[in-house]
């Protein structure tokens, strides 16, 4: 940056040599008919311009290097920040908006660093040198010239006060439009299955129209203020020409000096009239910078403590002691006074209606959120005391819809353990009942998956996720409704893989099907964030409660179907 500024100052200083050469050529060579001076002035001028060209090159190149390098580090910092922001940040964040910030806003900021900032410095240096030389030629004309900038500055100030909010609205509109596109592409199956293409087209058109309108409003502001600034500059030029002409006629000023002075006026006029463009660039980058700072300044309240406890391998003894949880910006607690213990190797079933707090319990184990009351301990140590990375390495998640990356199947299985050998990857796939279908694919384990695992069935994606969890070899396993979206045959294969996966691990199973919870050592039935019932399957079936009613609904219908199938003669 400093190298760029140094050469920029040199280049700007050399720029004002041109009016001096012009003045000498007119007053000393032409008027006095000193022909021998012309070659000297010409050669000197060419040499000076060569130095200016050299300076301009390094000023431009190093300025761009400064902008590109700064934005490189900025983008790295933003991406790193996004990786470590707490889980609740993404509860309300929009993917399209974040994408817009990391692309359009970063590029807007880069343009100012590479070009806008340079123009601003060039403006200050060139105007400063020009004014100094003006006073050398004629202090009276210089004072007349300086009467113009205050009027231009007032116009520029008013322009900035109106254009900056307009650019902020443009950035918000662009982010909203990007979000609309991202959601549309992600939900294309739903859109087509419900025949909502026209609805989505209209929604995008509304966002696009808003973006267009806000750009036109900004263009209107620009169109009003730029001619006004140009008018002020031209009126000042007329006064300078009139007064300067009078000085030349009266012999108070040499003709060459007037020509040089008039050239200097444009060295001030052009930057002042382009000040609107600089303000325009600055306003855009300021609007972008504000949106980037919102990410960088976001507080990460869930972090590894300084004296963090690290344990390579957890035993898996999980204790919830009077735990309560209130999510940010919520008024009703998600969990209240939750207490239970899961011994190493135990299977804990979690059942309840949507919003009852099942997933909240599992998210507290991995410390995606912090409790607002009570304490969660693993192996006798509060989860807040653990190093986050070592804690989460010991917890394996298999969700209802697991995320697969646009990479090979091998890379997806080894994602949590990138040092795993091919033999270990294959072994994990076999234990997850995935090896057989993987080998039928065109390139086997080297088959590249589409976005989010496109090209695989739900059951296949689920078994790859199980293989991924097996390869991590976690002490604590969380199965979040992992078989609810598959058919009975696939469920059987996944359940078989689960039995392999659950061996020797403390397991938490979130499920709505009682068949998935029958083997649990303890089942917690949740209602409105509280434990309504607890016990194993047999105990809860004997008790006339929520679990028993769900059992009756799921199994009595199945028994009735079996009876009807056994007596086909009475059925039509």
List, for residues 339-369, the tens digit of each pLDDT value. Answer: 999 999 899 999 988 888 898 999 999 898 8
Which pLDDT does position 289 carry in this prediction?
Answer: 84
The 10 Å Cβ neighbour count of residue 204 is 14
pLDDT tier for residue 290 given thresholds of 50, 70 and 90:
confident
Same domain, 109 and 232: yes
Closest by CA to 148, choosing from 248, 239, 263, 260, is 239
* pLDDT in the model for residue 337: 92
The residue whose two tokens read 């003006």 is 134
Percentage with pLDDT > 90 across the chain:
13
Query: pLDDT band at residue 452, thresholds of 50, 70 and 90?
Result: low
Same domain, 195 and 284: yes
Q: What is the CATH number of the domain that holds 528?
A: 3.40.50.300
**Six token digits for residue 430:** 């076999």
Regarding whether 321 and 287 lie in a shared domain, the answer is: no
Say yes or no: 193 and 266 in one domain.
yes
Does pLDDT of 273 surpass 80? no
Within-domain flag for 281: yes
Weakest-pLDDT range from 21-30, 205-214, 400-409, 467-476: 400-409
pLDDT tens, position by position, 486-511: 556 666 666 776 777 777 889 999 88
Predicted confidence at residue 572, as pLDDT, reads 37
Specify if 69 maps to a domain: no
Q: Which of 229, 261, 296 is the C-terminal boundary of a domain?
A: 296
Helix (H) or strand (E) holding 184: helix 149-186
In contact, 7 and 62? CB cutoff 8 Å = yes
Same domain, 222 and 319: no
Is 158 within the bounds of a domain?
yes
Query: Helix, strand or coil for residue 155?
Result: helix
DSSP state of 446: G
317 pLDDT higher than 80? yes
- Do residues 208 and 261 share a domain? yes
Considering the domain architecture, whether residues 240 and 337 belong to the same structural domain is answered as no
Mean of pLDDT over the chain: 82
Which stretch of DSSP H or E encloses residue 396?
strand 395-399
Chain segment 36-86, per-residue pLDDT in tens: 888 888 888 889 889 989 998 998 888 888 888 888 888 888 888 888 887
333 and 236, same domain (yes or no): no
Q: Burial letters for 268-304: b for 16+ Cβ neighbours within 10 Å, e otherwise?
A: bbebbbbbbebbbbbbbbbbbbebbeebeeeeeebeb
DSSP 271-324: HHHTHHHHHHHHHHHHHHHHHHHHHHT----S---TT-B--SS----EEEEEEE
User: Domain check: are 289 and 342 in the same one?
Assistant: no
Residues 236 and 356 both lie in one domain: no
pLDDT band for 453, please (50, 70, 90 cuts). Answer: low
pTM over 0.95: no
In a domain? residue 343: yes
Do 110 and 171 sit in the same domain of this protein?
yes
Residue 305 in domain: no
CA distance 509 to 361: 11
pLDDT of 568 > 60? The answer is no
Domain tally, the chain: 2
Instruction: Give the residue from 233, 262, 296 where a domain finishes.
Output: 296
- Supply the pLDDT for residue 561: 46
* 84 and 184, same domain (yes or no): yes
Neighbour tally for 67: CB within 10 Å: 22
Q: Show the domain range for 524.
A: 313-394+511-572
More confidently predicted of 97 and 380: 380
Choosing from 296, 328, 354, the residue where a domain stops is 296
65 token code pair? 């290097």
Phi, psi of 331 (to 5 degrees): -105, -30
* Nearest by Cα to 412 from 447, 437, 442, 440: 447
Q: Are strands 347-352 and 506-510 parallel, antiparallel or unpaired?
A: parallel
Q: 505 is written with which tokens?
A: 């691990």
- Beta strand pairing status for 395-399 and 476-480? parallel
């Amino acid at each position: 940056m400093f190298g760029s500024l140094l050469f920029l100052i040199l280049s700007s200083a050399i720029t004002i040599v041109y009016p001096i050469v012009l003045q000498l050529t007119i007053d000393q060579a032409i008027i006095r008919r000193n022909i021998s001076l012309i070659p000297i002035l010409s050669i000197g001028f060419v040499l000076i311009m060569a130095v200016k060209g050299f300076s301009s090159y390094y000023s431009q190149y190093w300025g761009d290097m400064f902008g590109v390098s700064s934005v490189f580090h900025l983008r790295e910092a933003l991406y790193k920040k996004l990786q470590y922001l707490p889980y609740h940040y993404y509860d309300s964040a929009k993917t399209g908006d974040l994408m817009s910030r990391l692309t359009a806003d970063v590029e807007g900021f880069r343009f100012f660093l590479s070009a806008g900032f340079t123009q601003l410095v060039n403006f200050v240096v060139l105007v400063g040198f020009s004014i100094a030389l003006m006073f050398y030629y004629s202090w009276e004309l210089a004072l007349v010239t300086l009467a113009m900038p205050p009027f231009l500055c007032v116009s520029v100030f008013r322009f900035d006060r109106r254009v900056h909010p307009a650019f902020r609205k443009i950035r918000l509109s662009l982010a909203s439009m990007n979000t609309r596109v991202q959601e549309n592409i992600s939900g294309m199956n739903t859109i087509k299955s419900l025949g909502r293409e026209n609805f989505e087209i209209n929604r995008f058109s509304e966002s696009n129209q808003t973006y267009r309108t806000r750009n036109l409003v900004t263009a209107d502001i620009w169109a009003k203020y730029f001619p006004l600034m140009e008018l002020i500059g031209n009126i000042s030029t007329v006064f300078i020409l009139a007064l300067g002409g009078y000085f030349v006629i009266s012999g108070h000023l040499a003709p060459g000096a007037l020509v040089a002075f008039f050239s200097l006026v444009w060295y001030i006029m052009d930057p002042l009239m382009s000040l609107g463009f600089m303000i325009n660039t600055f306003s855009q980058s300021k609007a972008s910078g504000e949106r980037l700072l919102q990410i960088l300044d976001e507080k990460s309240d869930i972090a590894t403590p300084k004296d963090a406890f690290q344990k390579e391998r957890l035993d898996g003894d999980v204790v919830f002691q009077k735990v309560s949880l209130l999510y940010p910006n919520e008024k009703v607690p998600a969990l209240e006074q939750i207490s239970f213990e899961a011994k190493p190797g135990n299977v804990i079933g979690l059942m309840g209606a949507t919003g009852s707090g099942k997933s909240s319990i599992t998210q507290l184990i991995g410390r995606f959120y912090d409790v607002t009351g009570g304490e969660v301990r693993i192996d006798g140590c509060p989860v807040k005391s653990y190093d986050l990375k070592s804690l989460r390495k010991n917890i394996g998640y298999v969700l209802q819809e697991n995320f697969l990356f646009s990479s090979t199947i091998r890379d997806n299985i080894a994602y949590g353990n990138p040092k795993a050998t091919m033999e270990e990857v294959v072994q994990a796939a076999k234990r997850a009942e995935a090896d057989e279908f993987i080998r039928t694919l065109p390139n086997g384990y080297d088959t590249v998956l589409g976005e989010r695992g496109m090209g695989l069935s739900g059951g296949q994606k689920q078994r790859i996720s199980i293989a991924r969890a097996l390869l991590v070899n976690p002490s604590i396993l969380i199965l979040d409704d992992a078989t609810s979206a598959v058919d009975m045959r696939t469920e059987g294969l996944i359940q078989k893989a689960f039995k392999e996966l659950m061996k020797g691990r403390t397991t938490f199973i979130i499920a709505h099907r009682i068949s998935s919870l029958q083997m649990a050592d303890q089942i917690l039935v949740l209602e409105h964030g509280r434990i309504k019932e607890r016990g194993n399957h047999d105990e809860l079936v004997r008790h006339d409660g929520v679990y028993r009613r769900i059992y009756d609904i799921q199994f009595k219908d199945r028994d009735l179907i079996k009876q009807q199938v056994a007596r086909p003669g009475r059925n039509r």
